[in-house]
A and B are shown apart, each in its own frame.
Chain A
Amino acid sequence: MASQNRISQAKIIQKIKAVGQAMLALGLQNTHSGNISARWGKDFFITKTGSMKGHLEDRDIILVGTDEPRSGLFQASSETGTHQKILSFSGAALHAHSLASVLISYRHTSLRPLDALGKLYLKEIPVIEFEYPVGSPEMERDIPLCLQNHPAMIVKTHGPFTHGPTLEEAFFRLTVLDYSAQILFWLELLGTPLEKLTELNYPSLPEYETPSGKLATQDEELINQFRRTALDVFYLELSPFHTGSLSVRNGQEMLYSPQLSTPHGFLADQEIKRIPLEPKSDDYFIQLHQAVYRYSSAKAAIFTHSPWGMIQALHQWSQGQNRVIPADAEGSYFYPAIGLSSPSTELTQIVELATRYKMVILPGLGVLAIGHTPGYVIHHVSSLKNICFLLTHLKVMQRQGLVKNMGEFLNKKGRDW
């Protein structure tokens, strides 16, 4: 909360606009729904009721008091009361209409993520049912109470609320929540035996930190490469906001960008670090990138949490498979098969599989792609999205009887590649 108070009014308004655009880009709301708030000193900013979140202007972001009412209430969102109470203990709050979360709320009383991000950063997300699930006094009472003990919650049939010390962390939690909900929803739709996934052990991951914007290089070409990649990762939904990582080798060090997935409006915060390949870092993701350069000749590596990759990988893993075999022409052409490896596998083996298949999927954790340049490696993870999207839908089509046997579409070379 303290850090949120230090930033200027102009900066906070700019960030709210950027979150609005980003939420719209991810389809986390329709053109007008949802709301965004951030504490500013004793007061808070909130988006105006009915404003178009993808096109917020200064006049759409209004100042409301946390202790004393202010005239901004005339324009405030219908969930203002809820935000006001959340912001008494937090720095920022978001309400979105994440469709995957709503779908989960129809049949679960809480969302228990299967993926590593959700398990670590959200744990268990309560679903609460309200008689009047839009702007009601009951919501205003119960949602803040719930969020005092949880980073996020879902209003049944309506959508999630998340909060955090900063707008970035609240948005990070929202995108992770949507990601976890998508994975669970699709696995259930595919008929995946979820109990078989409980044995997956995930490594310890670093705590969320808002990136500092520090750049350990002045090379504008490289910075632009990193920024382009960060934008593509975000807008192609290859990884939730501020997740994923990108590196390029530079002799016995690497230039490394954590919290890669970044939309417009946040690029100035993107960080590029200069990290030696030795000694081994405590940070799992840095270790992974270090391992790529220690155990392969790759010049670039990317790690993303790929929702479609996770859906397909977890499904295949539950069936005892150790690879994903594409069913589309483009995917089959580049990747006869893509290796799967337990998330707890030794890094050397992970890098070996990545070398063999260009990328390796760690079910529930993410996908590592390696190659020559940032452009080359993001091509792999963006292709994986398409491959896994098609496989997942093909499976549903098969379950509905729309295709007889999806096996006939799988790349034949992939079985023993």
Chain B
Amino acid sequence: MISGYNQRGISVDLSSGKIEVFPLPEEIITNYLGGRGWGAWFLHEENQALVDPLSSESILVIASGGLGGSVAPTSGRFSIIFKSPLTGTIFSSNSGGFWGHIFKRTGYDVLLIKGRAAQPVYLYLSEDKIELIECPELWGLNIPELTQQLQAKYSPQAKILGIGPAGEKQVRFASIMNDLGRTAGRGGGGAVMGAKNLKAIVVAGRKTFPPFQREKYQTGLAQANKLIRSMPVTSKAFPLLGTAGLVKLVYQHDMLVHRNFQDTSHLPENIEKISGETLRRTIFRAPRGCFNCRIRCARLTQVDHRQGEGPEFETIAMLGANLEIYDLPTIARANYLCNEYGLDTISLGNTLGAAMELFEKGGLSSPETGGLELCFGAGHLLEELVRLIAHREGLGHELAEGARRLCQKYQAPELAMVVKGLELPAYDPRSTLMQALGYATSTRGGCHLKGGYMISLGFFGGAREVDRFLVETVADHVVDEQDSGCVADMLGICRFAYFAFSENELSRIYAGFTGVDLGPHDLKRLARQVIDEERRFNLKAGLKASTDTLPTRFFTEKIKIAGRQRAIDRENQFAYMLNKYYEIRKWTNDSNLKTNKIHPK
């Protein structure tokens, strides 16, 4: 018997309304642990590689982490896994807040959503009730309105996950929101929910999970908490400045994107206007944290009379620095709208950057933009553009398709700053070769997190820091960080907690909680299998190894970084690192995995 798990899941077929509870085999628990791992397994089992993500054949997997239900620091995260309508890859997107913790306490570990409802519905889930409820009256509501109505009906303690108008309109980068301001942001999960006519999932649960070995569990927790309290990143930087504190740091490393990744050059006074320090002095009202999190990196802010969460670093960078909009209130207002409509701010900022470059270079003309002068620095247009995209109106309809499709349509694919169709986030890969390799190899496309969050090793990794322009040995670091990230996603732990602790502490906590004794190396081994599984899915979905690359701009356009003009040398740097990466993962560069076993253990 494994402790800490419910060992069962629910399958909901929205087409038929059929709800089934199914046992979760022990082998699946111990090989895939939870979260992202289970997602990879279920999507494989359900043969999802070739389905249209926005069709009734697609499934959405919502899975608690292996440490869900525990009191491990930051363990409230859960994953939503689907085939992405944006990238066509497998896509694991995770979120914090409290929803995931309460979901686990309803008595289920995983939820499979299949089919498509004839009418808008929402799902209610508690320890003694599972119910699908038609809700045409909720369709069209934004996230605060939806949350308010459902909590008024059930209880203020009920946790709400749902989509806003952007998901309903199947914007390809619509996010799934929970607890008002938390988001499974990337990859268009909101569009998948919208395509299924599923507006929300309400959870209310109180089940508790006694640990298998209390002493082991508690000593692991004590050590992890001690490290979080002692590391400045987790005890001071994030709590005091939020992720916005990274703005200056990333800028100082010539990494902060600018004008659709044309360069990383900003005036220092402009950076000051959007820095975490300025945010703290001006619009900041209070810190916000997820379940059992001491880091509390989220910001409650206020602009005029509106309050909301954010902006986070990525939002400031992508809607601000990238678009030359150096005004925090403007960025925050757009961010509030994104949270209300359910939009991924990274893809949004990246897509707008592509549109602005297209416009300035003549690829998009004024009639096509509906008369909008879509220039960099056009902060006055930002809120209107968000509205247009979320509702797919006018130019918003094209922007809602994301940067790749937009640029393809206007015959300038080279202006799409995407990998595998996923819009790149705020770090220019020319500034850290590890990040370049991470973007290229991430199984969900151009993502800093699934790519390994290499900037942390690049300039705030402490003794683990790796030179940003190193080529030799880089692939090993990237593989290792990607694997660690996958462990965090499987266990439902925040990536930021890794600034304080690692698999050493997690393996002890997990063993104490569940009785499954996996060492740090075992956790990474399982993570590597999950990444293999995701790769296998992508290959089956038709992706080729040739998609393990970066936009041409990064190979051909030199920009000044760390005192020198630099681009990534495609042959001598990138190809070398990539081949090493394949060698380490035992992948071949003709797109095949050497191993085809599903359960290599």
Tell me, yes or no, whether B247 is within 8 Å of chain A by CB.
yes
With beta carbons under 8 angstroms apart, the residue of A48, A73, A77, A134 that contacts B240 is A73
Q: How far is the CA of A42 from the CA of B86 in the complex (A)?
A: 48
Given contacts A71-B241, A71-B248, A134-B230, 18 further A-B contacts (CB under 8 A): A32-B462, A48-B462, A49-B232, A51-B462, A69-B237, A70-B241, A71-B245, A71-B276, A73-B233, A73-B237, A74-B246, A74-B249, A75-B459, A76-B232, A78-B230, A132-B230, A135-B232, A137-B229
The number of residue pairs between A and B whose CB atoms lie closer than 8 Å in the complex comes to 84
Tell me, yes or no, whether B231 is within 8 Å of chain A by CB.
yes
7 contacts between A and B (CB under 8 A): A69-B245, A71-B248, A74-B232, A77-B232, A81-B232, A132-B226, A136-B229
Question: Chain A residues near B277 (CB, 8 Å)?
Answer: 65, 68-71
Q: How far is the CA of A74 from the CA of B237 in the complex (A)?
A: 5
Question: Chain A residues near B241 (CB, 8 Å)?
Answer: 69-71, 73
Tell me, yes or no, whether A211 is within 8 Å of chain B by CB.
no
A72's nearest neighbour on chain B, judged by CB, is B249
**Per-residue contact bits, chain B 457-482, to A (CB 8 Å; 1 contact, 0 not):** 00111111100000000000000000
Question: Chain B residues near A48 (CB, 8 Å)?
Answer: 460, 462
**Per-residue contact bits, chain A 47-73, to B (CB 8 Å; 1 contact, 0 not):** 011110000000100000100111111
Tell me, yes or no, whether A239 is within 8 Å of chain B by CB.
no
Q: Ordered nearest first, which 4 A-B pairs have the shortest CB separation?
A: A50-B462, A135-B230, A50-B463, A73-B237
Tell me, yes or no, whether A80 is within 8 Å of chain B by CB.
yes
Tell me how far the C-beta of A184 lies from the nearest C-beta in chain B, rounded to whole angstroms. Answer: 30
**Per-residue contact bits, chain A 168-185, to B (CB 8 Å; 1 contact, 0 not):** 000000000000000000
Q: How far is the CA of A251 from the CA of B247 in the complex (A)?
A: 65
Contact of A136 with B240 in the complex, beta carbons under 8 Å: no
Contact of A50 with B465 in the complex, beta carbons under 8 Å: yes
Contact of A50 with B240 in the complex, beta carbons under 8 Å: no
Question: Chain B residues near A71 (CB, 8 Å)?
Answer: 237, 241, 245-249, 275-277
Question: Chain A residues near B281 (CB, 8 Å)?
Answer: 68
Question: Chain A residues near B229 (CB, 8 Å)?
Answer: 132, 135-137
Tell me how far the C-beta of A159 lies from the nearest C-beta in chain B, rounded to whole angstroms. Answer: 15
Q: How large is the interface on A (under 10, 10 to 19, 20 to 34, 35 or more residues)?
A: 20 to 34
**Per-residue contact bits, chain B 324-356, to A (CB 8 Å; 1 contact, 0 not):** 000000000000000000000000000000000
Q: How far is the CA of A80 from the CA of B246 in the complex (A)?
A: 18
Contact of A135 with B462 in the complex, beta carbons under 8 Å: no
**Per-residue contact bits, chain A 258-290, to B (CB 8 Å; 1 contact, 0 not):** 000000000000000000000000000000000
Q: How far is the CA of A358 from the CA of B460 in the complex (A)?
A: 54
Contact of A135 with B460 in the complex, beta carbons under 8 Å: no
Tell me, yes or no, whether B280 is within 8 Å of chain A by CB.
yes
With beta carbons under 8 angstroms apart, the residue of A74, A78, A135 that contacts B245 is A74
Tell me, yes or no, whether B235 is within 8 Å of chain A by CB.
yes
Tell me how far the C-beta of B45 lies from the nearest C-beta in chain A, rounded to whole angstroms. Answer: 41
Question: Chain B residues near A32 (CB, 8 Å)?
Answer: 462-463
Tell me, yes or no, whether B236 is within 8 Å of chain A by CB.
yes
Contact of B233 with A50 in the complex, beta carbons under 8 Å: no
B247's nearest neighbour on chain A, judged by CB, is A71
- What is the size, in residues, of chain B's interface with A at 8 Å between Cβ atoms? 28
Interface hits, B274-301 → A, CB 8 Å:
275-277, 280-281
Question: Chain B residues near A59 (CB, 8 Å)?
Answer: 459
With beta carbons under 8 angstroms apart, the residue of B232, B249, B276, B459 that contacts A78 is B232
Contact of B226 with A136 in the complex, beta carbons under 8 Å: yes
Q: How far is the CA of A355 from the CA of B346 in the complex (A)?
A: 80
Question: Chain B residues near A49 (CB, 8 Å)?
Answer: 231-232, 460, 462-463
Question: Chain A residues near B460 (CB, 8 Å)?
Answer: 48-49, 74-75
Most buried by B among A65, A74, A135: A74
Question: Chain A residues near B236 (CB, 8 Å)?
Answer: 69, 73, 76, 80-81
Q: How far is the CA of A388 from the CA of B489 in the complex (A)?
A: 60
Tell me how far the C-beta of A129 lies from the nearest C-beta in chain B, rounded to whole angstroms. Answer: 16
**Per-residue contact bits, chain A 70-95, to B (CB 8 Å; 1 contact, 0 not):** 11111111101100000000000000
Q: How far is the CA of A48 from the CA of B465 in the complex (A)?
A: 11
Interface hits, A3-55 → B, CB 8 Å:
32, 48-51
Question: Chain B residues near A65 (CB, 8 Å)?
Answer: 277
With beta carbons under 8 angstroms apart, the residue of A74, A81, A134 that contacts B233 is A74
Tell me how far the C-beta of B222 lies from the nearest C-beta in chain A, rounded to whole angstroms. Answer: 9
Question: Chain A residues near B280 (CB, 8 Å)?
Answer: 68-69
Contact of A80 with B230 in the complex, beta carbons under 8 Å: no
Q: How far is the CA of A75 from the CA of B460 in the complex (A)?
A: 5
Question: Chain B residues near A73 (CB, 8 Å)?
Answer: 232-233, 236-237, 240-241, 245
Question: Chain A residues near B465 (CB, 8 Å)?
Answer: 50
Question: Chain A residues near B237 (CB, 8 Å)?
Answer: 69, 71, 73-74, 76
**Per-residue contact bits, chain A 363-398, to B (CB 8 Å; 1 contact, 0 not):** 000000000000000000000000000000000000
Tell me how far the C-beta of A137 lies from the nearest C-beta in chain B, rounded to whole angstroms. Answer: 6
Q: How far is the CA of A50 from the CA of B459 in the complex (A)?
A: 11
Q: How far is the CA of A49 from the CA of B229 in the complex (A)?
A: 15
Q: How far is the CA of A48 from the CA of B461 in the complex (A)?
A: 10
A135's nearest neighbour on chain B, judged by CB, is B230
Q: How far is the CA of A132 from the CA of B245 in the complex (A)?
A: 28
A50-B464 contact in complex given A71-B277, A76-B236, A135-B231, C-beta closer than 8 Å: yes
B245's nearest neighbour on chain A, judged by CB, is A71
Question: Chain B residues near A75 (CB, 8 Å)?
Answer: 249, 459-460
Q: How far is the CA of A68 from the CA of B284 in the complex (A)?
A: 14
Question: Chain A residues near B459 (CB, 8 Å)?
Answer: 59, 75
Question: Chain B residues near A80 (CB, 8 Å)?
Answer: 232, 236
Q: How far is the CA of A80 from the CA of B459 in the complex (A)?
A: 17
Tell me how far the C-beta of B249 lies from the nearest C-beta in chain A, rounded to whole angstroms. Answer: 5
Q: How far is the CA of A134 from the CA of B277 in the complex (A)?
A: 27
Tell me how far the C-beta of B279 lies from the nearest C-beta in chain A, rounded to whole angstroms. Answer: 11
Q: How far is the CA of A329 from the CA of B459 in the complex (A)?
A: 53
Question: Chain B residues near A77 (CB, 8 Å)?
Answer: 232
Tell me how far the C-beta of A279 lies from the nearest C-beta in chain B, rounded to whole angstroms. Answer: 55
Question: Chain B residues near A137 (CB, 8 Å)?
Answer: 229, 235
Question: Chain B residues near A81 (CB, 8 Å)?
Answer: 232, 235-236
Interface hits, B342-379 → A, CB 8 Å:
none
Q: How far is the CA of A412 from the CA of B236 in the complex (A)?
A: 65
Q: How far is the CA of A76 from the CA of B465 in the complex (A)?
A: 13
Q: How far is the CA of A70 from the CA of B464 in the complex (A)?
A: 22
Tell me how far the C-beta of A168 lies from the nearest C-beta in chain B, rounded to whole angstroms. Answer: 26
Q: How far is the CA of A191 from the CA of B277 in the complex (A)?
A: 57
Interface hits, B199-231 → A, CB 8 Å:
226, 229-231
Q: How far is the CA of A76 from the CA of B230 in the complex (A)?
A: 11
Q: How far is the CA of A294 from the CA of B391 in the complex (A)?
A: 97
Q: How far is the CA of A66 from the CA of B1 in the complex (A)?
A: 53
Q: How far is the CA of A139 from the CA of B459 in the complex (A)?
A: 26
Interface hits, B168-203 → A, CB 8 Å:
none
B241's nearest neighbour on chain A, judged by CB, is A69
Tell me how far the C-beta of B277 lies from the nearest C-beta in chain A, rounded to whole angstroms. Answer: 6
B253's nearest neighbour on chain A, judged by CB, is A59
Question: Chain A residues near B464 (CB, 8 Å)?
Answer: 50
With beta carbons under 8 angstroms apart, the residue of B226, B231, B240 that contacts A69 is B240
Most buried by B among A71, A78, A132: A71
B250's nearest neighbour on chain A, judged by CB, is A71
Question: Chain B residues near A68 (CB, 8 Å)?
Answer: 277, 280-281
